[in-house]
Amino acid sequence: MSRKTFPFRVPHSVPLYLAPMAGVSESPFRRLCHAHGADVVVTEFLSAEGIRRENEATISKLRFSPDEHPIGVQIFGADPAAMADAAAVVTDLFMPDFVDINFGCPVKKVVRRNGGSGCLRDLDLVQEIIRAVSKATPLPVTCKIRSGWSEEMRDPVGIALRCQDAGARVLALHARTRTQMYTGQANWDEIAKVAEALDIPVLGNGDIKTAADAKRMLDHTRADGIMLGRGSYGQPWVFKQARALFEGQPMPETPGVHERFAIALDHARLVQGYEVDAIGAALEFRKHLGWYVKGLPNSADLRKLLHQVRDFSEVEEIFSNYLLHYEEYRAQRLAASDPDISDLTCEAA
């Protein structure tokens, strides 16, 4: 099967994307995921109105480092003129590798203004937005969609073809409808049908929790790339693991507790170097800490401590104290010749 050509340089023929996720895919996490094997990253979705008005808080989220390329900036909105203005601002001020349009977000506060997946109720509007954005920037314009607004309006191939006809250069499909939100199962058969129907690269997204899931999706759908979202939470190494499986290589082992904590601390340092508000950054980072320790022995108690931190210095102390008890616990299990000792480094979900 011949691979489709991406409109910007990607390091592998089947790239692994970090999905755009509000409050998660910020610059520090994007840099970390790149370092651990993500080929392409996308910013958290940002309001076109906020960008065109150069709202300080919105513009601050557009900052990215040179080591984040290739990177796309994702924008959302329902006004073609505002979306065009936002794309022009993004291009002039930041020059990412592409501009991505969000037609997939299902949350009420976005849909209420007809943004995100709300646009899928009006496919003429979807096309107007893509055309307006494409005219406003020389950068490739890509988009992310869902399979439809509702079961009654479910038509991923039809929606995808209209996006392609309007000028989209890459299309990502989260194979659920908006009304499904994140319930039920993503329909990977729909990704396969869209990948077959389109001439542009198609990315598969939805229900990838592990590297093995990414490989299964690739085999099932023959998509041109795979986009990981929630499956990257607390395990940025999932990209390297998936790449190994894609290339028929042995999958790298999931990091043990010491290495996992070291990666979490690397992430924390990146956040400290990026954010201005140290306390606010520490509070926001609590969710990442919870994800990093998921599945470890006594993780519930560990999470309680980590969800109370107000300063990054506390994190290292909590990790150090945990490791002291962990080594004692591990020694006891080894002394007892416990056959389940390998479970102490189980993969985070």
Instruction: List, for residues 158-195, the tens digit of each pLDDT value.
Output: 999 999 999 999 999 999 987 787 888 999 999 999 99
Contact 329, 296 (CB under 8 A): no
Contact 17, 228 (CB under 8 A): yes
Does 39 score more than 90 pLDDT? yes
Q: Pick from 172, 284, 267: which is nearest to 228 by CA?
A: 172
Classified by CATH at the fold level, domain 16-246 comes out as TIM Barrel (3.20.20)
Distances (CA, A) of 106 to 69, 116, 155, 169, 286: 27, 7, 17, 23, 24
| Residue 335 labeled ligand binder | no
| Residue 138 labeled ligand binder | no
| Residue 180 labeled ligand binder | no
Cis preceding linkage at 339, omega within 30: no
Instruction: Label residues 55-83 b or e (16+ Cβ within 10 Å = b).
Output: eeebbebbebeeebebbbbbbbbbbbebb
| Residue 278 labeled ligand binder | no
Tens of pLDDT, residue by residue over 62-95, are: 999 999 999 999 999 999 999 999 999 999 999 9
Distances (CA, A) of 45 to 51, 92, 110, 234, 263: 11, 18, 10, 20, 25
Report the mean per-residue pLDDT for the chain.
91
- pLDDT of the residue at 341: 46
Active site residues: 105
What angle do helix axes 278-292 and 299-306 make, rounded to 10 degrees? 170
| Residue 1 labeled ligand binder | no
Match 């409050």 to its residue by tokens: 23
Domain boundaries, the chain: 16-246, 257-345
- pLDDT of the residue at 106: 63
**CA atoms within a 13 Å half-sphere pointing along the CA-CB vector of 247:** 14
- pLDDT cut 70: percent of the chain above it: 90
pTM over 0.75: yes
Confidence of residue 309 (pLDDT cuts 50, 70, 90): very high
1-10, 93-102, 311-320: the lowest-pLDDT one? 1-10
40-49, 165-174, 178-187, 284-293: the lowest-pLDDT one? 178-187
| Residue 229 labeled ligand binder | yes
